[in-house]
A = this chain, B = another copy of it.
Amino acid sequence: MLAQRISRLTSSLVRDILAAASQPDVISFAGGLPAEDALFVPDAAGLAPERLRAALQYGPSEGELRLRELVAQQLNSLGLSCGPQQVLILNGSQQGIDLMAKLLIEPGRRVLVEAPAYLAALQAFRLFGAELDGWSRVEGISAEAKMKEGLQADTCMTYLTPTFQNPSGACYSAAERRGMAAVLDAHPGIVFEDDPYRDLAYDGPAPAPLVSHLRAARWVYQGSFSKILAPGLRLGFLVAHPELFPHLLRLKQAADLHSNRLSQLLVTQVLEDGLLAGHLARILPDYRARRDVMAASLDRHLGGLASWTLPAGGLFFWVKLAQPLDSQSLMQRMLRDERVAIMPGSAFFAQPADAAYLRLNFSHASPERIAEGLARLGRVLRSQRTAS
């Protein structure tokens, strides 16, 4: 009696890991949670009853006009030319993935994704019946050439996280973005750029959004306030090509009428009062320090056992194990015996990967616990090498 799509709801592995990782004695590298100290605590004065009143009645499905204007301003300053009438406020950017799946996917439709790619996007696309094709960067071949190989004539959507990707941490250069945009302009599919990590840049600002280089392809771009302010607010946004916007707006209305107005009020005030830059200036040094502690700990404890690249932004190290271990078994052993939560890389691939990977988050655990957790991981990996 249930719809066919329910059989495609994937296992609750990730939910189980995250539940286990929230136990206080567990050192968690598993989630993508901001540090507690990095959460933006709204000013209660901004929530005085006379201001709250405006947020209590039903609101527009598009979102609050002033917030849409502020988002559009910000995007234009990044080089993405758009107007506020193209901005749709979301209940977190996960909702943008759901709306895009509804817009484009039906059983058997092909979606091109990076390998690896954001897990919850793969799950949502699969739920609607997509056939996922993955493509990977390969040393010595351009990203655009590899991506082009993955595009089929009937690919309906190309989903990309070009900036400090979850899980890989990778960020395409401006030249790569231009090359990829040219390939996508020559294809009828729709381009969906997911960009929640842009502002978490530790070594200089990220290049302009990939979709800003498109000339012909229709596109949707989305961002989130979860990683830079507070995920509990559940607030994100998308900007859509004018042909796509009216459909996405109606899908949003059918999904939940409109986004929470309290959160919209709060975030509007933060942006209006220019508080975001100061908040970022406060949290970025701490995140950079944690990243560097993780890099040093990886060097110290996983040298020879794995390889990785220093991420220039975002929240994750993507670690390739030298030995072809089963990353899910390793995750289970680490959690059970060592009280360290890691995220197995296999969950991030549309097709089985060429090697074993782990995704390690550095924003949530304290520097001391990062060092301790990686010491335990190194010990287990060394013991497994000896055992095999």
Residues of A within 8 A of B (CB): 1-6, 9, 12, 15, 31, 33-34, 36, 39-44, 47-49, 52-53, 55-59, 61, 90-92, 94-95, 98, 102-106, 109, 120, 123-124, 127, 156, 188-190, 226, 230-234, 247, 250-251, 253-263, 266
Asked whether B44 lies within 8 Å of A260 as measured between CB atoms, the reply is no
Q: Is the CB of A257 within 8 A of B94?
A: yes
CA of A257 to CA of B231 in the docked complex: distance in angstroms?
10
A104 touches B234 (CB 8 A): no
A2-B104, A44-B52, A231-B58 are contacts. A256–B123 as well, Cβ < 8 Å? no
Residues in B whose Cβ lies below 8 Å from that of A232: 55-59, 260-262
Q: List 6 A-B pairs, minimum CB-CB distance, nearest first.
A: A232-B261, A56-B230, A39-B56, A260-B260, A95-B256, A58-B231
State A6–B40 Cα separation when bound (angstroms). 38
* Inter-chain contact B257/A92, CB cutoff 8 Å: yes
Q: A233 near B254 (CB under 8 angstroms)?
A: no
In the complex, the answer to whether B230 meets A257 with C-beta atoms within 8 Å is: no
Q: Provided the pairs A3-B109, A106-B3, A234-B259 are in contact, do residues A57 and B44 lie with their beta carbons within 8 angstroms?
A: no
In the complex, how many angstroms separate the beta carbon of A81 from the nearest chain B beta carbon? Answer: 23
Return chain B residues, CB-CB under 8 Å to A3: 102-106, 109
**How many copies of the polypeptide does the oligomer hold?**
2
> A1 and B156: CB pair below 8 A?
yes
10 extra interchain contacts, Cβ-Cβ under 8 A, other than A43-B49, A94-B255? A3-B103, A3-B104, A3-B109, A4-B106, A6-B247, A12-B250, A91-B260, A94-B254, A94-B256, A233-B261
CA distance A164 to B43 in the complex (A): 40
**Chain B residues with CB under 8 A of A127:** 102, 251, 254
Contact yes or no, B253 A234, CB < 8 A: no
Q: Which residues of B contact A91 (CB under 8 A)?
A: 91, 234, 256, 259-260
Residue of B nearest to A1 (CB): B156
Shortest distance from the beta carbon of A1 to any chain B beta carbon, whole Å: 6
CB-CB under 8 A from A156, the residues of chain B are 1
Q: When the two chains form their complex, are residues A234 and B256 in contact, meaning their CB atoms are under 8 A apart?
A: yes
A57 touches B39 (CB 8 A): yes
List chain B residues, Cβ under 8 A from A266: 262
Contacts of A251 in B (CB 8 A): 9, 127
- A247 CB → nearest B CB, Å: 5
Q: Which of B12, B40, B56, B247 contacts A2 (CB 8 A)?
A: B247
Nearest chain B CB to A156's CB is how many angstroms away? 6
- Return A361 CB to nearest CB of chain B, in Å: 12
CA distance A120 to B254 in the complex (A): 7
- Chain B contacts of A260 at CB under 8 A? 91, 232-234, 260, 262-263
Q: Report the bound CA distance from A378 to B293 in whole Å.
A: 76
Among residues of B, the one whose C-beta sits closest to the C-beta of A11 is B250
Q: Contacts of A257 on B, CB cut-off 8 Å?
A: 92, 94, 120, 231, 234
**Are A255 and B57 neighbours in the complex by a CB distance under 8 Å?**
no
The minimal Cβ–Cβ distance linking A303 to chain B, given in whole angstroms, is: 33
